[in-house]
Structure 1
Amino acid sequence: MEPISMTTLPNASNTDQGHCKGQCRVILITLYGVVLLGGTTGTVLMSRMMFKRKSQSMIAMIVVNIIVLHSVLLVSLPFRLSYYILEVWEFGTFLCRLVSSILYGHMYVTFFFYVAIVILRLLIYFKKLHMQQLQKCHAVVLSIVIWTMSGLIFLPILFLQYGINPSYSKQRRCFEFYKDINRREFIILNYSMIVIMITTVGVLFLIQMGVILQQTKALWPDMWAHQDYRAQIKSFFFLLVIVVCFIPHHVFRVHFIQNYSEIDNSELVLYNEIFVALTTVCCLDMVCFIGGVIH
């Protein structure tokens, strides 16, 4: 877990704003714009597909939860784009903190659902769980558990603790809550989430690769004709999304925590903003499914 994202704007103190004013804004506007357009297209088309199929499997219900998460994040992106385009926040401190919380909440809850899909399919593969045992009620219970745990853990931290410094509301800027990084409890929390995410993904990645290699060897050359093989490839895809979108942000976070200071921090702030924006690219996962990249 990390403090809510930040950006630097003209007249901000103790930072050289020239570099971020140009390249940073262009990169962020481009990334968020692509995610907004592609993510909206993917979620709408996938929602229609799920509605037509009316599948009640546990995996399908988890995918529905991911679509809901993506939809909430996509609704918040126009506010971010408005800020980076106009260079001023027009919507008040409350909405600034809410929009910031949505991005981080989306990342971690999506991570939990991705991991749930991978673990479920691995359990089925190793015959520790049978698909017939998984009913709609199980998916509903799992969804409620993940949403409830995420809310109890992250909402008080992200929404009630970050950004409460009165100095944040003095100027019409947003996402500049990086001063909280120096608080001991947040440093501990950051490192804990970094270790949990990287360890979890590392272990699941190795197991998943072993399963895919084993299946490839056993089913070659007709492995794509087998549903079990395609299911494991889909699980690998979700792990790949985590590695590409979430892990870079958490790896950089270690460097950010160790080197950040309120003086001469413009370069770190720039890179942090870019890595934060990269986490939203996971919203394009549905476009990959719809587009046939992952069948």
Structure 2
Amino acid sequence: MESMNTTTLSNASNRDPGHCDAHCRTILITVYGVVLLGGTAGAVTMSCMMFKRNSQSVVAMIVLNILVLHSILLVSLPFRLSYYVLVVWEFGTFTCRLVSSIIYGHMYLTFVFYVAIIILRLLIYFKKLQMQQFQKHHAVVLSIIIWMVGSVIFLLIFFLQYGIDPSYSEQQRCFEFYKDLNRREFITLNYSMIVILMTTVVTLFLIQTGVILQLAKALWPDLWAHQEYRAQIKSFFFLLVIVVCFVPHHAFRVHFIQNYSQREKSELILYNEIFVALTTVCCLDMLCFVGGIIH
């Protein structure tokens, strides 16, 4: 009887254009599977390297925070994979909302820590900050503040507000909270986050590119022999991660909000899920460092 119910639900889901079809699920399973394996390998290896070096630098403390964020997301990915493989959510509404919220909490907190590294190195380059003035306890305090503010926002917005419609608990599905975008406050919230992220990325990208070009001109041809140049290249790498993983989701989000309609534009829901999955690829950043892509 249970098998018949699952088959019926699966067939109904495939007929629903707003539900992730077989092709969509294949893409999501592939992306989440690669992120889970690669992200776990990178996080474990980087953690071991940091433990052996016992670095006390500010950047190392921020990277440690990013590792914690990646680990939280990686723990949630098996739930997502289970759903896209079985086509049925078996873990309850609470777990669905929690797992769904984690991916957004991870994205924005990781973005904040990336930006913190970039701005810190830019301030040092422009002589606005001396590394000696920024001690380990400053990094600890900064990390605590970011985690506290981020946790409050995560709790009040992504977890307590998204997915509270009673209709969500009436089906064995998950990650389909797009109906909340019919609420004006969430439309405003989404546009605000998009503007903040895009403005920050464009501003930092222009400044960072200018700094690298200036250093390249001054230090050529022995660029990699200078620590300052290598540090700015690492910052540029974090910017590239943001551009590749976070910017596409937010750019598409504008189109999604403006054109979304459950009846006429439901295929956009499938594309939105794929762009959300792309944000998790940032978990491979540590694998890039460990593998020597960025030294």
Which TM-score bucket, shorter chain as reference? over 0.9
Q: Is the 8 A contact 2:103 2:280 kept in 1?
A: yes
Structure 1 residue aligned with 2:204 = 204
Structure 1 residue aligned with 2:12 = 11
In structure 1, what is the Cα distance between the partners aligned to 2:88 and 2:184?
Answer: 30
In structure 2, what is the Cα distance between the partners aligned to 1:288 and 1:183?
Answer: 40
Matched, 1:177 2:177: yes
What's the CA shift string for 1:95-132, capped at 9, x where partnerless? Answer: 00000011000000000000000000000000000111
- Structure 1 residue ranges without an equivalent (≥5): 1-7
Alignment of 1:128-277 (within 5 A): 128-277=128-277
Q: Is the 8 A contact 1:10 1:21 kept in 2?
A: no
**CA deviation after TM superposition for structure 1 residue 15, in Å:** 3.7
In structure 2, what is the Cα distance between the partners aligned to 1:10 and 1:183?
Answer: 30
Work out which structure has the larger RCO, using CA pairs closer than 8 Å and 6 or more positions apart in sequence.
Answer: 1
Q: Is the 8 A contact 2:42 2:284 kept in 1?
A: yes
Matched, 1:92 2:92: yes
Q: What is the one-letter code of the residue matched to 1:46?
A: M
In structure 2, what is the Cα distance between the partners aligned to 1:121 and 1:95?
Answer: 39
Q: Normalising by structure 2, what TM-score?
A: 0.95
What's the CA shift string for 1:238-283, capped at 9, x where partnerless? Answer: 0000000000000000000001111133310111010000000000
Alignment of 1:69-148 (within 5 A): 69-148=69-148
Q: Is the 8 A contact 1:15 1:265 kept in 2?
A: no
Aligned CA distance change for structure 1 residues 281 and 220 (closer, same or farther; 3 Å): same
In structure 2, what is the Cα distance between the partners aligned to 1:227 and 1:96?
Answer: 45
Q: What is the one-letter code of the residue matched to 1:291?
A: G
Structure 2 residue aligned with 1:27 = 27
Aligned CA distance change for structure 1 residues 291 and 113 (closer, same or farther; 3 Å): same
**CA deviation after TM superposition for structure 1 residue 173, in Å:** 0.7
**CA deviation after TM superposition for structure 1 residue 218, in Å:** 0.4
User: 3-state DSSP class of the match of 2:213?
Assistant: helix
- Structure 2 residue ranges without an equivalent (≥5): 1-8
Aligned CA distance change for structure 1 residues 9 and 250 (closer, same or farther; 3 Å): farther
What's the CA shift string for 1:198-245, capped at 9, x where partnerless? Answer: 000100000000000000000001010001100000000000000000
Aligned CA distance change for structure 1 residues 9 and 111 (closer, same or farther; 3 Å): farther
Aligned CA distance change for structure 1 residues 258 and 14 (closer, same or farther; 3 Å): farther
**Number of paired residues?**
287
User: Bigger shift: 258-267 or 282-291?
Assistant: 258-267
Structure 2 residue aligned with 1:294 = 294
User: 3-state DSSP class of the match of 1:11?
Assistant: helix
In structure 1, what is the Cα distance between the partners aligned to 2:32 and 2:115?
Answer: 25
**CA deviation after TM superposition for structure 1 residue 17, in Å:** 6.3
Aligned CA distance change for structure 1 residues 76 and 184 (closer, same or farther; 3 Å): same
Let me know the Cα RMSD of the aligned residues.
1.5
Structure 1 residue aligned with 2:4 = none
What's the CA shift string for 1:131-162, capped at 9, x where partnerless? Answer: 11111100101101111111122321100001
